[in-house]
Amino acid sequence: MEYRPLGSTGLTVSVAGLGCGGNSRLGLGRGASFEECVAVARTAIDLGVNFLDTAEAYGTEEIVGAAVRSHDRDRLVISTKAIFRGGNETAESVIAKVEASLKRLSLDYVDVFHFHAVGPEAYAHHRDVLAPALLRLKERGKVRHIGITETGPRDPEQKMLAMAIEEAPWEVIMLAYSLMNQGARRSVFPVTERRGIGTLLMFVVRNIFSNDAYRRDVFAKLVEQGQLDASILSGGDPLGFLVAEGGAESITDAAYRYARHEQGADVILFGTGNKDHIKANVASILRPALPPAIVERLHASFGHLTGVGLDLPGPVKA
């Protein structure tokens, strides 16, 4: 495993981070037992993954708590999140949700606590009304660092993050980034690097990379909308060159490697309920960068797209 600083937090994190939500939710999505889900998380830890991200909404905090119980807590970085809807949430709501997460995790503190899926219209309330409560919890040692996550599919232009990365108190952000959704390369990473904000990348691999039929449908619609030239459909799979010319083992492998080696990327989040998939995902994240010519082609071909591939968890119709 490779490790790096998480912004200026002082935390050292694995470049591969276990996301405990998404479709899989460590196996809950396919009906796996609690013990099976714990085994999935422990497989990641045994491979050197020390960053685990969960959330109240995922229903996996208890699983993560059980998985880390037999490991050295000081070597693990545990991140969780909570959603605060509407403008009536108060500082007391924040304290109650943090305490509830700690109870489910069976931990005395979390390394990062995020406001989860914050849209542009709700940002000011989170910053001005709710964040002061997290700062007080940080002083009490319940929360080590304060984070905020975007709602990628509902804010594809990353308007919320454009505000958040320029001001306190955010130390860590979670954002959508992939080879088909490259906006952060220009508008987010230069600022987070300058200000020492840690970055957690989600939506790195989604159905557009793993589902061939779905990918064909998405590209056909992009051509129909005039966002891509029709010639991109003439040579078969529009992303096939990643394997044929880029030396990647698969399109998914290429997607992980593209994000992993982007300047400004700290942790690449992956999610699965399958222990074998954990090994494959980690292996991809640890492989070398794609050849420069391939990266340049990705930037030239898809760098102008916004919000492509940001499908929400749930079944995809092929």
Could you report the per-residue pLDDT of 209-242, keeping only the tens digit for each?
999 999 999 999 999 999 999 999 988 899 999 9
Kindly state whether residue 29 falls inside one of the protein's structural domains.
yes
Q: 23 with 314: CB under 8 angstroms?
A: yes
Give the pLDDT band (50/70/90) at residue 313.
low
Residue 117 neighbours by CB distance under 10 Å: 23
pLDDT band for position 164 (cuts 50, 70, 90): very high
Q: Is residue 138 part of a domain?
A: yes
Judge whether 122 lies within some domain: yes
Q: Residue 10 sits in a domain of what CATH number? A: 3.20.20.100
pLDDT digits (tens, 9 = 90+) for 28-46: 999 999 999 999 999 999 9
Q: Tell me the C-alpha distance between 273 and 21, whole Å.
A: 10
Residue 17 has a pLDDT of 98
Number of domains composing the chain? 1
The answer to the question of residue 316 being in a domain is no
- 309 in any annotated domain: no
Residue at 251 is within a domain:
yes
pLDDT tens track for 64-116: 999 999 899 999 999 999 999 878 899 999 999 999 999 999 999 999 999 99
**60 and 37 Cβ atoms separated by less than 8 Å:** yes
Task: Report whether 131 contacts 169 (CB < 8 A).
Answer: yes
The parent domain of residue 30 ranges over: 3-302
313 falls within a domain:
no
List, as one string, the DSSP characters of 158-211: -HHHHHHTTSTT-SEEEEE-BTTB-THHHHTHHHHHHHT-EEEEESSS-HHHH-
pLDDT at position 33 is 97
**Domain-embedded: residue 312:** no
- Residue 96: per-residue pLDDT: 97
